[in-house]
Structure 1
């Protein structure tokens, strides 16, 4: 499946400044693996040993994958996947 991945500013150095890229994969995990093949180091910035990093949110459309099937969540053809770093402050 081909999806559009919105790239947050902190990760754009890996995608040569692109704010959105096309990726292939039937699940979020497969999409991230495709991005890692094309942009080495991408997965390390999004994932840790337990799955998605604590301060990274991933959405398929408007659905947070934490409330779907996590990295196993399906990515339908034409979907938009947004990677959003959490923001903290006070």
Structure 2
């Protein structure tokens, strides 16, 4: 099943400048594994050393924040989208 992953500007160096890439996967964890297989280095920017989502990275499956769903176990439907959004802070 093809999933569209929206890549933030700061991570596009891993995707050859592409703002969106297509990968396969049934869960967010599988999508991230496929992203890493296709675009080496991106996993370390999304997940911490314990394999959990970094706290300054927000991830949405379709329009749902995965932190309020099943985290990395969140199902990603066929034809769905994943958005990786770095948190913005400051004043």
Give the structure with the larger helix fraction: 2
1:88 correspondence with 2:89: yes
- Report the TM-score, using the length of structure 2 for normalisation: 0.96
For residue 50 of structure 1, report the CA deviation from its aligned partner: 4.9
Residue of structure 2 in register with 1:78 after alignment: 79
> How many residues get paired?
90
Task: Give the 3-state SS of the residue equivalent to 1:3 in structure 2.
Answer: strand
Give the structure with the larger strand fraction: 1
Q: How does 1:34-45 map to 2 (within 5 A)?
A: 34-45=34-45
Q: How does 1:2-41 map to 2 (within 5 A)?
A: 2-41=2-41
Stretches of 4+ moved more than 2 A in 1?
none
CA RMSD in angstroms, aligned pairs only: 0.7
- Report the TM-score, using the length of structure 1 for normalisation: 0.97
Q: Unaligned regions of 5+ residues in structure 2, if any?
A: none
Q: Unaligned regions of 5+ residues in structure 1, if any?
A: none
